[in-house]
Amino acid sequence: MEDASNERFISHAVPWEVAIKVSLGKLHLQVGYEVIFPGVLEANGFHMLPARLEHYRGLMTLHRHHGDPFDRLMISQAKTEGLTIVTCDKEFPAYGVPLLW
């Protein structure tokens, strides 16, 4: 991830899920949401991965190893785009997507 020659993407599901968790009081950010999205991400070389119909189509064929809709979308995006996911979530390996962590 530290290799500057690698492209870094963030799923549009991430700021969506963060906004929901902040609004429910389940997540407290040390800096403002508007500072992180897009400021901190862009400053660290991340690009927003645009939503594509292929990502949603991929959801129809995913096994139900994981029930979280945001995580399932990120898995579908990674499979569709050939990307590696950075996570320590124990459910992700069952999907056979490349993982880093």
pTM comes to: 0.87
Q: What's the average model confidence in pLDDT over 41-69?
A: 92
CB 35, CB 15: distance < 8 Å: no
> What is the number of other CB atoms lying within 10 angstroms of the CB of residue 76?
24
| Cα gap 38→73, rounded to integer Å | 20
Residues 26-45 pLDDT 10s: 999 999 999 999 899 989 89
Distance CA 24, CA 6 (A): 35
Architecture of domain 8-100: 3-Layer(aba) Sandwich (3.40)
Does 61 score more than 80 pLDDT? yes
Whether pLDDT at 1 is above 80: no
Closest by Cα among 100, 99, 13 to 55: 13
CA count, 13 A, side-chain hemisphere, 2: 1
pLDDT, one tens digit per residue, over 83-99 is 999 999 999 999 999 99
Question: Are 46 and 9 within 8 A, CB to CB?
Answer: yes
